[in-house]
Structure 1
Amino acid sequence: MSSASLLVELFVEELPPKALKKLGDAFAGVLRDQLAAQGLVEPGAVLTPYASPRRLAAHITHVAERAADKAVSQKLMPVAVGLDASGQPTPALLKRLGALGADASAVPGLKRAMDGKAEALFYESTAKGATLAEGLQKALAEAIAKLPIPKVMSYQLESGCELPGWSSVSFVRPAHGLVALHGDAVVPVEALGLKAGRETHGHRFEAAVDPVVLRDANSYALQLQEEGAVIASFEARRAEIARQLAAAAVKVGGGSVPIEDEALLDEVTALVERPNVLVCSFEREFLEVPQECLILTMKANQKYFPLLDASGKLTNRFLVVSNISPDDASAVIGGNERVVRPRLADAKFFFDQDRKKSLASRVESLGKVVYHNKLGTQGERVERVMRIARGIAERLGDATLAAHATQAAQLAKADLVTDMVGEFPELQGIMGRYYAQHDGLDASVADAIEDHYKPRFAGDELPRNTVGLVVALADKLETLVGMFGIGNLPTGDRDPFALRRHALGVIRMLIEKDLPLGLDALLQDTAAQFSGIAGFESSRATGELQDFILDRLAGSLREQGASAQEVEAVLAPRPQRLGEVPKLLAAVRAFAALPAAAALAAANKRIGNILKKAPEADAHVSELLLQEPAEKALHAAMAQVVPAANAQFEAGDYTASLQTLAALREPVDAFFDGVMVNAEQADLRLNRLGLLMSLHAAMNRVAQLERLAV
């Protein structure tokens, strides 16, 4: 069987830029997988996806012209059904063979084999391998059907390309061309009302020829670049843009660097076919506006790359990725500068207008902004966050911290009603900090206004000061408790209020800052701020929410490398100071490495099972009722070991506490070997149960060790 490279291209109208890379990878991947499933792709074949604004394509090496024939074994029916008593075929068997294109002459060649408990008849034949035309037609239909299309369009087919029964078609964008080349031969396939050929189109304005007639599959990328002025590969185009951006920044000088933004780079790559980076500028007076505003408007609205100086400060230069390369680029540069100027002027206007009113004067307006139909307005929410923040601050610090935290909580949402944040919601918090600084507020308060949204995503930094930490914690707790209290819980992949993210934020702040705050107390105090709200249930806001937070913590610890057993052991006692969890986990890991760990964990599990069946037991032990040598020895060992382990626990040395308890292994083993716990004499039984209860309590202070038992 001969093999060659295969090239398939769909030529379409401009594809959605934010989805282009995903569409290109999906189209090529499914096409390759479907061909491979039919035996048409040889081992070692290389897939190269292509995606530009107006095309999706795939290049696959070592594609066979026809798949190899395959031996096929088909079960027909049990022998008892297919053959009569004399061994002759029954009508049922003959009918089944006929459906497979065979007749009675095939009966002697049927294979007999056990199928479960009964012997069955199998018909063995050779299936012809699929031709490339057959296989590609099927693979192409599958690749189109499985595209992750954000939104489908329906459009009329072009005149002259209608297929029987076709009048319109649905696809991500109208398709105008189909190329399918195996080596230098066209593969006769059809898709979206189009018949495959070897012609495609290059750049709208700068192609040297149109159409581009492809010589063979392997010349696709080179011909498109040389004749069509198109870099077909998404990755190659992206790398070229990054190279040109860096080169342009060096040319500007002064240590300039383009702003790093992977998503923006991807989007711009999806907007151009032949990138040409140009340097533009704007008036320096706009630099008086906070650079976050200018950067956002240039990136979000214009897809420009702002230039930063060596210290990370915005300059008045920016880079444009143009899709054309004229000999004189001055018109393109001037056009982009004219376009960006009104945007920057709007930002400056908003900034100037917003500063005419203090943040404090805007707080009243939050009472007119609905937060949630069951939880009231943003103004009511701010009042709750203020009280929560004040309570946390009083536990963590002095009157100054409480005053600053209360003030920051009161002003944290005030920038939501400013013109700038109304235009650019992404700047909430950031603008609040600038306006607080303009109002002459304490630096810790200004920083806290910006930082109270942190951490905003996985890996984000925590608030930079204690005031910000307090307000961020209060803000997230208010959201979590409020939503859980009214039953607005995340389900499946739906989490519109980002409760999972808020829970992880609370966890990170409590652990990484090792805050001396109990989780249950925090939830109870927060829930108290919702008293009087109809439909609010404290049990959901505390119990269910605590389970939710600990579940998020368990997942986070497992992602960091802890085993499920270790995590369960540490979290089963429901630790309240989450800042202690890393130390508890380290102690459990150290204990698990000890030779005595397995035996003690198993014994602890056994003790737990015994105590579950003895609700009458208490931790009281009478030395007068200790009769067996093993129970006396265990009691004596506990008298020495447990106080020392408890002292280490109280000192926060959890690793030493567990290692001290490991000395009880031998007396515990001896106890279970030589003592009948459930003695017939009630006082002896209760005394032994009391001894085990005392032991169980001592061993489970750090973690629930039975969870380590295999």
Structure 2
Amino acid sequence: MTDFLLELLCEEIPARMQQKASEDLARLFTEKLAEAGLKPDSIQSFVTPRRLALIASGLPLQTQAVNEELKGPRADAPPQALAGFLGKTGLTREQLVERPDAKGNVILFAVIEKPGRATADVLAEAIPAIVRAFPWPKSMRWGKASQTTESLRWVRPLQGIVAILGEDLVDIEIEGVRSGFATLGHRFHHPHQITIGGASDYVEKLRACHVIVDHAERMAIIEAKAQEAAAAHGLMLVEDKGLVAENAGLTEWPVPLLGDFDPAFLEVPPEVIQLTLRTNQKYFVLRNAAGALAPAFICTANIEAHDGGTAIVAGNRKVLAARLSDARFFWEQDKKTRLEDHAKKLERITFHEKLGTVADKVERVAKLARWLVEEGIVTPSSASQTVTPANAGVSSGGAPSPEMPAHAGMTKAELADMAEQAARLCKADLVTEMVGEFPELQGVMGGYYARAEGLPDAVADAIRDHYKPVGQGDEVPTAPVTVAVSLADKLDTLVSFFYADMPPTGSKDPFALRRAALGVLELLTRNVVRLSLWESITRALAGMTDLHCAPGIGDAEYELHLRSMNKTFETLPDFFADRLKVQQREAGVRHDLIDAVFALGGEDDLVRLLARVRALQAFVETPDGTNLLAGYKRAANILKKEAPFATAVTPAQAGVSGDGALPHETLAEAGMTATAYTPEPDEAALIAALDAAEPRATKAIAREDFAAAMAALATLRAPIDAFFEVVTVNDPDPAKRSARLALLARMRDAVHGVADFSRIEG
């Protein structure tokens, strides 16, 4: 057994591609060896900006000989079939083996012995195939060979191949690049060739030449030394695993260095500085002991500088100063124009070709936000907690005082005015210089500009946070103005794209509608906002009417508009139901219970629906709930076989009273004749239990006390169990049979007042 080393040397591999490339190399190598019957004990893969490498341990020097059997025709097959099989296998008739099958027919088999091969030969074939089939996201051709499409494609020009099995070179040639024992060390510290003896000394020889081939080790070095550098100056490193991985992908010998910048730049919003450091420069952000942004950064050099990094830091400081100067210029220029004037430019930006401009969307959102407040859906008391800098996710100076919430003492009229104002300005920062440079700051910069021009804190906060939540785990706004604008924005997006018949399909969701729906659900449930889904869709569709039904619209266009509206009503509620299941799955809520409540119909208040679902889940997990569900299913199965009771009826329609009598018209439909009789004791007990439980459950549901409704249903558990134990439902007497079936229908419908138990699993 021996080890194999492979290294593919090239020009700089983009950092974002490195980890996946390392995984792909190990996967493809494993698959190719498996085809030849080889399986190494372990594979360790490496990647740096200039090389992909792997070490396969525990490979045999030769593959094992194997016998391969090919099934041929029957022994009495026509000569042409036999000749074709012999030509395929290269054997003679005498070399074929005869075997009977299960039917007694004699079948011919070719047994072909494949001798073992040298592992080096297998590798010499596998490596070129891997290189040519490598799945780079982007690749290139180079040199004279690039004149033909048959030439090699690689992420960057391939410069060298090291392929050593044990201590022997595996001879490989790919597009003029031949394998050898030599590779290159660090570009500056050791630019000369290094001779590699094999897998055993590869990692340490390169380390001696200032190349750390293990990506994870470079990440650990960057993180540890960056924290040390920050602590030495009394600062704290802002944790950023993605940036650590990116810097590890940019260096082969990482050396974190601390630098500083002019504190005067801190007058620019901190989010801008952070993005400039991280996105533009790949620097780490630092905070002081108080948690405020510090005028300092950590960059990652790729060399051990003779001067300790002084010149490197000075160069990075100079570049950063230019970047921050640009940011400060954008900040100052944008503040010279009021948000109201910025917003006028939104007429020049298309939201979607079928849905008008961003200005059109803003108009729809403003009307919807005002409606949410005026109808009392979002009120000053909707917020479940005060917005503070800590929970709003903004830095110092970016939020109102936690002692005085932005919405404190606000009347409904004031709240409506502020919601409309915030909605009309919430997209204005899209046309600013700063958001043009940093699209990630849309909303955030609008909040800063609003506060800078003296707009109310509630309006500035709503502009800043109206995109939230943007995904699971993101902060959910609670301030009422923000809730109104955020809800209006997301509802308009959903209704607009469903109206235009562009819902998500499969894994494709180009307009992030699933995220928007989850955002609506989070806002409603987190703030206990009592919103009718049907009514909100109706209000949002009014914006589509304004957009598409201008005076003089033709009949065909209006008919298309009506069809689009109806389609939205048909599809969007189901979409919300699916998203609700996704949202509640993590909270441990069963999807079948959500289906059971939705199946009742008419329940479009998602807060009330979830309260009902949670009470139902708590109930069905108790012994009473489990047994009542079993009794319900037994009753439902019996009723399915009986035509008059196959569909749900209300207790009034069922008409069963304490004496067990059934209305004459129902009997007539069943072809039966009414005959008075006295109910059996267990039958009478169930009737009495229903007489007591039905009104209690109905009243509890009316006051939205779903736990009490479940408790009322729980009283039916013992009577229904006893009923099925003693009473014969399909009695020969038609009157008894019909009355008992009606009693079961009454029990079923009493349960349906809470949920459709037929949808519940178990």
Query: TM-score, normalised on structure 1?
Result: 0.89
**Deviation string, structure 1 residues 684-704 (Cα, Å, up to 9, x no partner):** 85x777655543332123332
The alignment status of 1:337 with 2:317, answered yes or no, reads: yes
Equivalence for 1:603: 634
Equivalence for 1:300: 279
CA–CA distance in structure 2, aligned partners of residues 147 and 545 of structure 1? 43
Is the alpha carbon distance of 1:53 and 1:645 closer, same or farther for their aligned partners in structure 2, counting shifts above 3 Å? same
Post-superposition shift, 1:225? Answer: 1.2
Is the alpha carbon distance of 1:142 and 1:167 closer, same or farther for their aligned partners in structure 2, counting shifts above 3 Å? closer
Post-superposition shift, 1:391? Answer: 1.5
The alignment status of 1:315 with 2:294, answered yes or no, reads: yes
Residues paired across the two proteins, number: 687
**Deviation string, structure 1 residues 612-660 (Cα, Å, up to 9, x no partner):** 9756966420536345547655433211222223334344443453354
CA–CA distance in structure 2, aligned partners of residues 145 and 657 of structure 1? 68
Post-superposition shift, 1:224? Answer: 1.1
Check the 8 A contact 1:393/1:402 in 2, yes or no: yes
Check the 8 A contact 2:528/2:607 in 1, yes or no: yes
The alignment status of 1:586 with 2:614, answered yes or no, reads: yes
CA–CA distance in structure 2, aligned partners of residues 218 and 708 of structure 1? 61
Post-superposition shift, 1:103? Answer: 3.0
Match among 563, 566, 572 for residue 545 of structure 1: 572
Equivalence for 1:510: 524
Post-superposition shift, 1:327? Answer: 0.4
Is the alpha carbon distance of 1:464 and 1:632 closer, same or farther for their aligned partners in structure 2, counting shifts above 3 Å? closer
| Greater shift in the superposed pair: 441-450 or 659-668 | 659-668
The alignment status of 1:82 with 2:75, answered yes or no, reads: yes
Is the alpha carbon distance of 1:120 and 1:598 closer, same or farther for their aligned partners in structure 2, counting shifts above 3 Å? farther
* Residue segments in structure 2 that go unaligned for 5+ positions in a row: 380-411, 549-559, 663-676
Match among 545, 551, 568 for residue 531 of structure 1: 545
One-letter code aligned to 2:438: F
Match among 29, 35, 38 for residue 36 of structure 2: 38
Is the alpha carbon distance of 1:112 and 1:145 closer, same or farther for their aligned partners in structure 2, counting shifts above 3 Å? farther
Match among 5, 21, 24 for residue 22 of structure 2: 24
Match among 250, 258, 273 for residue 271 of structure 1: 250
Match among 33, 39, 45 for residue 49 of structure 1: 45
Match among 525, 535, 547 for residue 521 of structure 1: 535
Post-superposition shift, 1:287? Answer: 0.7
CA–CA distance in structure 2, aligned partners of residues 142 and 11 of structure 1? 17
One-letter code aligned to 1:354: D
Match among 265, 269, 276 for residue 286 of structure 1: 265
* Residue segments in structure 1 that go unaligned for 5+ positions in a row: none
CA–CA distance in structure 2, aligned partners of residues 154 and 608 of structure 1? 73
One-letter code aligned to 1:249: A
Post-superposition shift, 1:542? Answer: 2.8
What secondary structure sits across from 1:231 in the alignment?
coil
| Greater shift in the superposed pair: 390-399 or 19-28 | 390-399
| Greater shift in the superposed pair: 578-587 or 232-241 | 578-587
Check the 8 A contact 1:611/1:693 in 2, yes or no: no
Point out 4+ residue stretches in structure 1 off by more than 6 angstroms: 677-681
What secondary structure sits across from 1:204 in the alignment?
coil
Is the alpha carbon distance of 1:613 and 1:660 closer, same or farther for their aligned partners in structure 2, counting shifts above 3 Å? closer
The alignment status of 1:405 with 2:398, answered yes or no, reads: no
Equivalence for 1:225: 207
| Greater shift in the superposed pair: 490-499 or 593-602 | 593-602
CA–CA distance in structure 2, aligned partners of residues 502 and 118 of structure 1? 66
Check the 8 A contact 1:369/1:377 in 2, yes or no: yes
| Greater shift in the superposed pair: 651-660 or 296-305 | 651-660
CA–CA distance in structure 2, aligned partners of residues 654 and 268 of structure 1? 55
Equivalence for 2:387: none
One-letter code aligned to 2:637: R
Is the alpha carbon distance of 1:345 and 1:95 closer, same or farther for their aligned partners in structure 2, counting shifts above 3 Å? closer
Equivalence for 1:127: 114
| Greater shift in the superposed pair: 606-615 or 483-492 | 606-615
The alignment status of 1:365 with 2:393, answered yes or no, reads: no
Is the alpha carbon distance of 1:561 and 1:304 closer, same or farther for their aligned partners in structure 2, counting shifts above 3 Å? same
The alignment status of 1:350 with 2:330, answered yes or no, reads: yes
One-letter code aligned to 2:527: K
Check the 8 A contact 1:601/1:708 in 2, yes or no: no
Match among 149, 159, 166 for residue 136 of structure 2: 149
Is the alpha carbon distance of 1:709 and 1:194 closer, same or farther for their aligned partners in structure 2, counting shifts above 3 Å? same
CA–CA distance in structure 1, aligned partners of residues 113 and 633 of structure 2? 59
Post-superposition shift, 1:122? Answer: 4.1
Equivalence for 2:470: 456
CA–CA distance in structure 2, aligned partners of residues 53 and 4 of structure 1? 28
Equivalence for 1:674: 728
Check the 8 A contact 2:218/2:254 in 1, yes or no: yes
Equivalence for 2:194: 212
Post-superposition shift, 1:664? Answer: 2.8
Post-superposition shift, 1:174? Answer: 1.3
Q: Percent identity between the aligned chains?
A: 35
Post-superposition shift, 1:14? Answer: 1.1
Post-superposition shift, 1:192? Answer: 4.9
What secondary structure sits across from 2:507 in the alignment?
coil
Alignment of 1:177-216 (within 5 A): 177-207=160-190, 210-216=192-198
Is the alpha carbon distance of 1:224 and 1:666 closer, same or farther for their aligned partners in structure 2, counting shifts above 3 Å? same
The alignment status of 1:103 with 2:92, answered yes or no, reads: yes
Post-superposition shift, 1:596? Answer: 0.2
Is the alpha carbon distance of 1:693 and 1:475 closer, same or farther for their aligned partners in structure 2, counting shifts above 3 Å? farther
**Deviation string, structure 1 residues 256-277 (Cα, Å, up to 9, x no partner):** 1223222222222111111111
What secondary structure sits across from 1:169 in the alignment?
coil
Equivalence for 1:699: 751
One-letter code aligned to 1:558: R
Is the alpha carbon distance of 1:485 and 1:608 closer, same or farther for their aligned partners in structure 2, counting shifts above 3 Å? farther
Query: TM-score, normalised on structure 2?
Result: 0.83
CA–CA distance in structure 2, aligned partners of residues 544 and 119 of structure 1? 62
Check the 8 A contact 1:175/1:192 in 2, yes or no: no
CA–CA distance in structure 2, aligned partners of residues 490 and 112 of structure 1? 57
Match among 427, 433, 440 for residue 426 of structure 1: 440
What secondary structure sits across from 1:340 in the alignment?
helix
Is the alpha carbon distance of 1:649 and 1:291 closer, same or farther for their aligned partners in structure 2, counting shifts above 3 Å? same
Is the alpha carbon distance of 1:446 and 1:326 closer, same or farther for their aligned partners in structure 2, counting shifts above 3 Å? same
Is the alpha carbon distance of 1:481 and 1:193 closer, same or farther for their aligned partners in structure 2, counting shifts above 3 Å? farther
Check the 8 A contact 2:98/2:107 in 1, yes or no: no
Post-superposition shift, 1:556? Answer: 3.1
Alignment of 1:483-502 (within 5 A): 483-502=497-516
**Deviation string, structure 1 residues 164-187 (Cα, Å, up to 9, x no partner):** x99832222211111111222212
Post-superposition shift, 1:461? Answer: 0.8
CA–CA distance in structure 2, aligned partners of residues 650 and 615 of structure 1? 24
Check the 8 A contact 1:408/1:446 in 2, yes or no: yes
CA–CA distance in structure 1, aligned partners of residues 254 and 490 of structure 2? 44
Equivalence for 2:127: 140
Check the 8 A contact 2:124/2:170 in 1, yes or no: no
**Deviation string, structure 1 residues 495-514 (Cα, Å, up to 9, x no partner):** 22111111111111122222
